[in-house]
Chain A
Amino acid sequence: MIKTDPPGTPTKTETPAEGNLANAKEPSAPGKEPSAPGKEPSLIASYRACADRYDEMCSAPGVPRAHWQPLFDSLNASTARELNARISAAERHLRDSGVTYNVYDDPEGNDRQWEMDMLPMLIAPDEWRVIETGIAQRARLFNAILADLYGPQTLLKDGLVPSSLVLGHSGFLRNAHGMKLPGEIHLHLYAADLTRSPDGQWWVIADRTQAPSGAGYALENRLIVSQVFPELFRSQNVRHLAQHFATMRDALMYYAPKGDGAPLAVVLTPGPYNETYFEHALIARYLGFRLVEGGDLTVADNKVWLKTIEGPRRVHTIIRRQDDAYCDPLELRADSTLGVGGLMECIRRGNVLVANPPGSGVLEGGALLGYLPRLCEHLLDEALALPSIATWWCGEPVALQSALAQHERLVFKPADPGYPFEPVFGHKLSPQRLAQLRQQIASHPERFVAQELVDVSEAPVLAGRAQQHSFQSRGIGLRVHASIAPSANYVVMPGGLTRVATDADSRIVSMQRGGSSKDTWVLAEGPLDTQFTLLRSTLRSADLVASNGAIASRVAENEFWFGRTCERCESIARLLRAALNAVLQETEDGINNPVFAMATSWGLISEDEMNDACLLTAATMEDESRGLAANLRRLNQIAYQLRDRLSLDHWRAITSLVRDPVFNQQVTLSQCINWLDKTIVGMTTLSGFALDSMTRDTGFRFLSIGRRLERLCFLTRAISVACNEGRDSGLTWLLELCDSVLTYRSRYMAQPEWLPVMDLLIRDPSNPRSVMFQVKGIHDYLGRIEQRHGPCGRELLLPDIELLMSLDLDTEYHPDSARLMQAIDNLHNSCYALSDRLTQQFFNHPGMQNDWGSSW
């Protein structure tokens, strides 16, 4: 597929270094000149590396390094148009799959899209071996250090590490001392941030030991980039990531304590508002672990249990994604709502594997970096393979003097990640600011480190807006991940997250600061075993997860509300559409049309302000809390919580609605009707997905009950309004609201009349919009749930439906019948009663715990 240019493509060479730097920041010329298809210049030809940095792609201007050659050639052969097409496809994928990275305090809300650059970062095999060895060694070293600090503490007692470095670090958790850890492993997951200096040497600038993030994003980036460059990806022998995750999963299960049923592993997330929530869900799905929040877990008998609607299930392994201090509100930060009270005690007793155990954060911040060579010799009897960037811990007086003496070359950072201090760059300091910094450090020197600034290496990125792309050089950093293996060795993921600086001269690469990322291709020397996927065929029957596996209470609650909110969106959209149509047709009923009464009764418009502007607002504006937009937003939030259970298609259908251009905008009448049509189609699609692609498990039942309960609620209200207000206005509007116009016409070929309409909407068990249909469905689903969980409110709707069915067809199915009104209103109220009952019984976690004794 990919054509390569004939050899000897002329490359422009520009020698002056300053010129290169300046050029790198300017968008380059190609693309501006119109040229005939096929003769467009390639974008890569104009790429200019920065002379005083290490360029990952080029060894000299226009000359790619050997392992970049195939990618370079391929880019050289692609026209801007071809590239643009590939990029748009990838961007669409990124948007639709809802890959996000939340930034705290982001004015744009907490749903920022993940930013990635389509061009991968390539690493040659021999170079990777160096990194791999170095990272695995560091993981071993850190494990040994943690084992000592939380055990005999000989490193401190013998003065190999200054005691104040550890004892003064907020990450040193005294409650974690003396933990009995399964397999005596203190560090299961580890990541390091690497950077490359102009001479080509890789350095570690930071170590991540609490809850390293990024491996999941690397996986997602891989998925996308391998689609953008499929041929290249296949031809290049890029090492796969799946094996790494499989090893990680095996190890976390291997070292887990045993007992109380089949091993259960979870990913414990701080929740959807955490910046890397997307990754938590992704890793959970990829590893086949449950995604849970602190509130889903509880502690009893010094063990951790997952609260499910079937009672507690013992949890054996937890990948936790909250920081150390937030893991246990009972013993650590009391204000934490993200953790599990009593978790520390379970860990100390060895009753649960937590990766990583709380307390591992003491290694973060960089204070230890200067001591690592000595510690490596001492603990492992090896030389430190991968150097750390020169770092001075200011708590050591000599180091502080030395750091201050050469402050122009250094950046001053907190040694303790818990200490709020923005990095200060030494080279830009005014005398006053320097004096201030000296004073700040002098008062608490142990809280600071000074680190050498590196002119980080650069790689080409695609910059510029759609259709006007150009390749520019940007600073990059590489995050590499390691995991413990069942063999007690550490394995390093052959790949990683390449992070890209925001602008051309930024020296700090950080996702929190809004940088972008790249996929990292580690190239293999020999042919790859490409047979491997995470879904191995070695699963035995015992590994099979039953389709009726107990679901977490919170998940059941979200399913229930997902069903209710879907239905609510659909009914509101139908109601608004009917109301707007009434406005458009300007029938003589005008404002007396009962559909307005219904809209008022449903809280969409108020009685004093019945005009079309209000209807438009209720349709698209989010601040109308009972309107369509607000409910769609709610639906989106619930779906967000359920993301590990919803397919990508579900997700796309929902996001496309809240991302619609009219969402939260003032619209015209016709725009609004289009929008309502679109929403109704979207909601119908969602219910189709549910019917067609969801496993009939307990979660599905809760979703279906939610949906039918909401529909019943709406339907009974509509019938009630029709009886009260609509006696003289015809019944077409009611049939329209209930999507039963076609059914009625095909049966009766006549204007709607009371008896047949009431029969169709109330009694007909075959009409999916009838009262009977909803009640029957709810009754059946509750029956299935009741089989496992005992009575759960099935009796609540019975008296009302019995009353309704006992009414005489000829005399009482009439708007004047008080008994009909009574039965309909009772049923409406019973909907709320049933919803409350389900909430109390299944979703309210404290309530559930009351009957633990019986559920064991």
Chain B
Amino acid sequence: MVTALATHGAKSRRYKVVHETRYVYSAPVAQGHHFGHLTPRTTPWQQVLDHKLAFEPQPNEVADLDDYFGNHSVRFLINRPHEVMQVCASSTIDVQEQNLDTTLARAPWESALCASFYEVEPLSVAEMRLPSQHVELLPETRHYAHQFFRPERPWLDALLDLTLHIRKDFVYDPKATTVSTPISEVFENKRGVCQDFAHLMLSCLRSLNLPARYVSGYILNEPPPGSEKLLGADASHAWIESWLPGVGWVGFDPTNGKLANHEFITMAWGRDFMDVTPLRGVVLGGGAQKLEVKVSVTRI
């Protein structure tokens, strides 16, 4: 287990990410108002060297805003008829490997619980213990999680175990779910995509009262020769982070059954998908709409 954490030597990696979103409407849209998270955030281990948003058609208004969680969001308004709307986000990003203190991370998992109801902890941690719109706390997820969280078990071992088991027990199947499929259904059918597995794992952890948050971002989709392509690489990816006192937030990817290291480029985090939706909008007119998303992540 510990070998997974050994440093690979490379201290920092540079990525070029191009994220294209294209809406094709069956009838002209008179006004389109959009809101989303398309700009990767800067973290202690990640720097955004260059970032550009290109729109088609050019919006009448564009505004940037940092949201409640400190993510960068963008809002734009197109006020003339259009039948296609396209946003292309391109970024150059450096990601360093995080040095996880494995001794600290192997403290009993119970040390991530609150000592008492009245203990005051950072709000950014406290709110990640609670259920949210897409993360219901269910008896079955709690039961599922329990088998990995035996008393006094090291936090890191238990989390990796849970991460690996979700990878093993669930089938990656883009046809099985939609954005609104509840996790109870994902759990029952044992199928879904990265977003479902992230929500599921959040439910497992939060039902044990462990703080855990949803992370959206990218992973390399052109793997080095000889290695296998990671699942969920062709669109934006999602994984989770959980928090341990003294260690902080550590990322786990249940879709690929591994720690989220410097192959993972963080876009934004929140309670669940709803807080970090890449793009949503309100359009007047438009009829039916077709959405195409293309993501390319290359190492440079």
Contacts and interface: CB of A to CB of B under 8 A. Distances in A.
Interface of A: 153, 156-159, 162-164, 167-168, 170, 174-175, 177, 298-302, 329-331, 334, 341-342, 345, 396-398, 443-444, 446, 845-847, 849-850, 852
Contacts of B123: 153, 156-157, 163, 167
Contacts of B281: 330
Contacts of A153: 123
A847 B29 CA distance: 10
A390 to B, nearest CB: 20
Contacts of A345: 63, 65, 75
Given A174-B275, A850-B80, A341 B63 contact: no
Contacts of A341: 33, 282
B18 interface: no
B154 to A, nearest CB: 27
B126 A443 contact: no
Given A162-B117, A299-B33, A341-B33, A846 B284 contact: yes
Contacts of B284: 845-846, 849
B137 interface: yes
B292 interface: no
A446 B130 contact: yes
B116 to A, nearest CB: 9
A850 B75 CA distance: 20
Given A345-B75, A849-B30, A396 B282 contact: no
B280 interface: yes
B31 A298 contact: yes
A737 B137 CA distance: 69
A300 to B, nearest CB: 7
Interface string B270-300: 0000010000111011000000000000000
Contact of B127 (A157, A163, A849, A850): A163
B61 A301 contact: yes
A124 to B, nearest CB: 44
B67 interface: yes
Interface string B57-70: 00011010101110
Contacts of B63: 302, 345
| A-B residue pairs, 3 tightest by C-beta | A846-B30, A341-B282, A174-B68
Nearest to A345: B75
B126 A164 contact: yes
A163 B126 contact: yes
A298 B77 CA distance: 11
A852 B79 contact: yes
Given A167-B126, A329-B282, A175 B117 contact: no
A299 B97 CA distance: 44
Given A174-B67, A175-B68, 18 more contacts: A163-B126, A167-B127, A174-B69, A174-B275, A177-B68, A300-B79, A302-B63, A329-B282, A330-B35, A331-B35, A342-B33, A342-B282, A345-B63, A397-B117, A398-B117, A846-B29, A849-B31, A850-B30
B108 interface: no
Nearest to A177: B68
Contacts of B72: none
B103 to A, nearest CB: 30
Contact of A443 (B34, B61, B133, B137): B137
B114 to A, nearest CB: 10
Nearest to B32: A341
Contacts of B137: 443-444
A446 B34 CA distance: 34
Interface string B14-38: 0000000000000001110111000
Contacts of B285: 846
A443 B137 CA distance: 8
16 contacts: A163-B126, A164-B126, A164-B129, A174-B69, A175-B68, A299-B77, A300-B79, A330-B280, A334-B282, A341-B33, A342-B282, A345-B63, A345-B75, A443-B137, A845-B284, A846-B30
B184 to A, nearest CB: 13
A159 to B, nearest CB: 4
Given A159-B120, A300-B61, A329-B282, A168 B30 contact: no
Contacts of B118: 159, 162
B139 interface: yes
A786 B121 CA distance: 65
B81 interface: yes
A298 B283 CA distance: 11
A170 B131 CA distance: 10
A444 B129 CA distance: 12
Contacts of B75: 330, 342, 345
Contacts of B280: 330, 334
A342 B133 CA distance: 21
Contacts of A174: 67-69, 275
B269 to A, nearest CB: 13
B207 to A, nearest CB: 9
Nearest to B80: A850
Contacts of A159: 118, 120
B30 A847 contact: yes
A150 to B, nearest CB: 10
Contacts of B139: 443
A843 B63 CA distance: 30
A308 to B, nearest CB: 16
Contacts of A170: 133
A164 B77 CA distance: 36
Nearest to A169: B130
B120 A158 contact: yes
B193 to A, nearest CB: 20
A158 B34 CA distance: 37
A396 B117 contact: yes
A485 B80 CA distance: 41
Interface in B30-61: 30-31, 33-35, 60-61
A548 B65 CA distance: 40
A421 to B, nearest CB: 14
A330 B29 CA distance: 16
Nearest to A159: B120
Nearest to A158: B120
A444 B131 contact: yes
A331 B33 CA distance: 10
Given A302-B63, A443-B137, A342 B127 contact: no
A740 B123 CA distance: 79
A157 B69 CA distance: 16
A396 B282 CA distance: 40
A159 B123 CA distance: 10
A330 B118 CA distance: 36
Most chain A CB within 10 A, of B31, B133, B280, is at B31
Nearest to A335: B180
Contacts of B61: 300-302
Contacts of A443: 137, 139
Contacts of A329: 282
B275 A164 contact: no
Interface centre among A153, A330, A398, A847, by most B CB within 10 Å? A330
Contacts of A398: 117
A759 to B, nearest CB: 47
A298 B61 CA distance: 14
Contacts of B69: 174
A847 B285 CA distance: 9
Interface string B130-156: 110100010100000000000000000
A299 B60 CA distance: 12
A361 to B, nearest CB: 15
Given A168-B130, A330-B281, A443-B139, A342 B67 contact: no
Interface string B107-120: 00000000001101
Contacts of A299: 33, 77
A251 B33 CA distance: 32
Nearest to A164: B130
Contacts of A847: 30
A330 B33 contact: yes
Nearest to A337: B282
A446 B131 CA distance: 10
